[in-house]
Chains A and B, each alone.
Chain A
C-alpha cells in the first residue's frame, strides 16, 4: 500500500512539473478565492469604519454628576490598542440580571493574571469581557496593569483595556458578536467629554440589557449614560451588522461551493483524461483498489500543493487589508480545501476502477 501511495505522490510531482498549465490553473483558482475573501473582508472593514463614524447616533454616554472625578489613566483610551484580542474591563461588578433576556444572571468567574487570582468577576458568556471588582482587587492587595493579559476561567485570555470601568465589549470584528465599542480620545479630569459607544447586537432586544450594563459600569465613576438615538437607527445599524454576519456566511458557502465544484470538475476531467493511463495500469495488473489508492494519493498531493500555493496567495492578498492576526481562519480554509479535494477525487477513483483495460488498449 505504501508503495502505491508513494508512487501516487511521485506521479503528482512529475505531472505538476510536466504541466505548468496545471499550476497556473491552480494559482488562478486560488487567487480567485483570495480575491473573494479579501474583498469580503474589505467590505467588512469599510462597514466597520462607517459604523464607527456614525456611532454617536446610536448611543451616547455622557459625563454625569456635578464633579466627575476621572482617574488619570482615563486620558488614554482604548484606541491605543491596535489589536483587540478580547477585553477585560476592570471595574465594579455588574449585577445586572439578564433573566428578562433569557440568559439568566451572569455567571461568576475567577479572573487570574500571571498565575495569580486577581479577583472574582462576572461576565456575559457571549462577550469576551469580564467586569472585575476593583475594590475587591484593592482589598486583596493585587494590581493589574493596563494592557496585561488576564485569564478567565475557561475563557481565552483577554487584554486589560481599562481599569475602573468605562470601556466594555470590544471583541474582534467579523464575528457574530454582540457589541463593539469605541471611545473618543481626549478624556481627562479637566475636560470630561463624551464617550461614544457603538452598540451592535445580534438581537435588537439585547440593546436595552447592554445599555443597562454600560450604565452599571459607568455610573459608579461619575458618568451618566444617555441614549440619544432612536430605535430605528439602532434597528438599521443592527440590520447592517446582521447583514455583515450573513455576508460572511454567504462567503463561506460561496468558497465551499466553489472548492467542491472545482474539485469535482477536476476529478471528472482527470478521470476522463487519464482513462488510457488507468486502462494501461489495469492491463499491467493493477487492481481496482490499487488504482483508487494511486489516484487518491496523486490527487491529494496536487491538492496539497494547490492549497499551499493558494494559502500564500490569500495571505498576500489579506495582509494588505488586515493584520496578520486576523488570518487565523486560514488553516481552516486549508483543511476545508483538502477535505473537498479528497471528495473531488471520488469521480476519478470511480472512473479509474470502472476502466476496462481491453477497451482502452483497443483505442487507437
Chain B
C-alpha cells in the first residue's frame, strides 16, 4: 500500500524507439516520504531515463508510476504537466538556468506556472536564497555565475513551490567540494522536512548522505 509522499515505479520498462533495445526492463523502485534515495550505476545504464520517467516526462512502455498511490504515468499530458509543475521540483544536471533572465525570474519560473502571487514568490525566493547561503542580488542576470551558485539557484527554483517530490539529476556533478556540500546539505534537509528526494549521482559523497542507494545495472 502506497502512502502519501511515496513515489513508486512498478515493473517499468522503457525503450526510446519501438524497435530499439530496452533501456531497462521491469524495474521496480520505491521512494518513501522523508527519504533521500540515490540512484547509482554506470554511465548509460538508464539512471537519467528513469528519473525522467519518475518525473513524468516520459511514459513507460510497460509498468506504472504512482505518486502517493495515484497512477500518473498513463495520465494525459496536460495532467502530468500540471502535476509536475505543482508537486515535483527538478534540479537539472547543469542547472539549466536562463542566462538572459534575472536570478529572481529563474527561481520564480515554477511559481509563474503555478499562478503563485508575485509578492509571495519573491518573498519565498529571497528566503530560499538565504537558506542555500547565496548572497546575490535577485535582480542580477543569471550569467557569469559559478557552477555552485548556479546549481544552488536551480535548487531554489526546484523548491519554490514547496513540492512533495524533489528529483535531481547529477546535482553535484560539476561542483567543487564546498558547493557540493552546500547542495547536499539542502537536499538532505529537504528530505528531513518530509519531502521525497530522488537523486541520480555517481558521487560517493551523495551516496554517503543518502537514506538508501539503489544501483541500476545496464
Which residues of A are interface residues toward B (Cβ below 8 A)? 3-4, 6-7, 10-11, 14-15, 18-19, 276-277, 280-287, 290, 357-358, 361-362
Contact = CB atoms under 8 A, between A and B. Distances in A.
B55, B108, B157: most-surrounded residue (chain A CB, <10 A): B55
A6 B110 CA distance: 14
A285 B81 contact: yes
Contacts of B177: none
Given A14-B100, A18-B100, A283-B92, A362 B48 contact: yes
B198 interface: no
Given A14-B141, A15-B100, A280-B98, A358 B58 contact: yes
Interface string B67-101: 00000000001100111111010101100101011
A113 to B, nearest CB: 56
Residue among A15, A19, A277, A282 with the most chain B CB within 10 A? Answer: A277
Interface in B101-153: 101-102, 105, 108-110, 112-116, 118, 141
Contacts of A6: 118
6 contacts: A3-B115, A7-B105, A280-B109, A282-B57, A285-B110, A287-B77
A308 to B, nearest CB: 21
B52 interface: yes
Contacts of A4: 112-113
Nearest to A281: B109
A282 B84 CA distance: 9
A240 B49 CA distance: 70
B82 A277 contact: no
Q: How large is the interface on B (under 10, 10 to 19, 20 to 34, 35 or more residues)?
A: 35 or more
A362 B58 CA distance: 13
In the complex, which of the residues B96, B108, B118 has the most CB atoms of chain A within 10 Å of its own CB atom? B96
Given A11-B101, A282-B81, A361 B88 contact: no
A14 B101 contact: yes
A284 B84 contact: yes
Nearest to B92: A361
A358 B169 CA distance: 12
A280 B141 CA distance: 18
A1 to B, nearest CB: 9
B110 A284 contact: yes
Contacts of B90: 283-284
A18 B139 CA distance: 12
A357 B113 CA distance: 16
B82 A7 contact: no
Contact of A290 (B57, B58, B92, B113): B113
B85 A285 contact: yes
Across the A-B interface, give the 5 residue pairs with the lowest CB-CB distance, nearest first: A285-B85, A285-B84, A7-B112, A18-B100, A287-B81
Contacts of B116: 3
A275 B118 CA distance: 26
Nearest to A289: B78
Contacts of A286: 81, 85, 113
Given A283-B90, A361-B96, 9 more contacts: A3-B115, A6-B118, A7-B105, A11-B101, A14-B105, A277-B98, A284-B109, A358-B52, A361-B169
Contacts of B101: 11, 14-15, 18
Contact of A11 (B82, B85, B105, B110): B105
A4 B112 CA distance: 6
A285 B114 CA distance: 9
Interface in B30-66: 48, 52, 55, 57-58
A287 B82 contact: yes
Given A3-B112, A362-B48, A283 B78 contact: no
B113 A285 contact: yes
Contacts of B98: 277, 280
Nearest to B117: A3
A241 B58 CA distance: 65
Contacts of B58: 358
Nearest to A17: B141
Contacts of B115: 3
